[in-house]
Amino acid sequence: CVIRGETTHYDYVCGESARGLMDLSVREKLAIGYGILTVNTEEQAWARARLNRGDKGGDAAHACLAMVGLERRWRHPQ
């Protein structure tokens, strides 16, 4: 989770983390779910992390597993 502060550091962390994960995914041919919360307040972070209210990390994990399943089907069609 990255919470915006009073400096531009938030913008660098958000952008570079996304770029790093994308580069790793492409280079290693991996399915990587981007589950890093980028929010303005701690309240927003909790709202997006709670299992009963948003669970954005869980959503990213489900998307990643779906991508793995697709990759397996494409690689080994029946």
Selecting among 1, 5, 9, 13, the annotated active-site residue is 9
Q: How many CB atoms lie within 10 A of CB 45?
A: 18
Coil/strand/helix, residue 63: helix
Whether 76 sits among the annotated catalytic residues: the reply is no
Picking from 38, 31, 44, the residue whose alpha carbon sits closest to that of residue 2 is: 38
* Catalytic residue ranges: 9
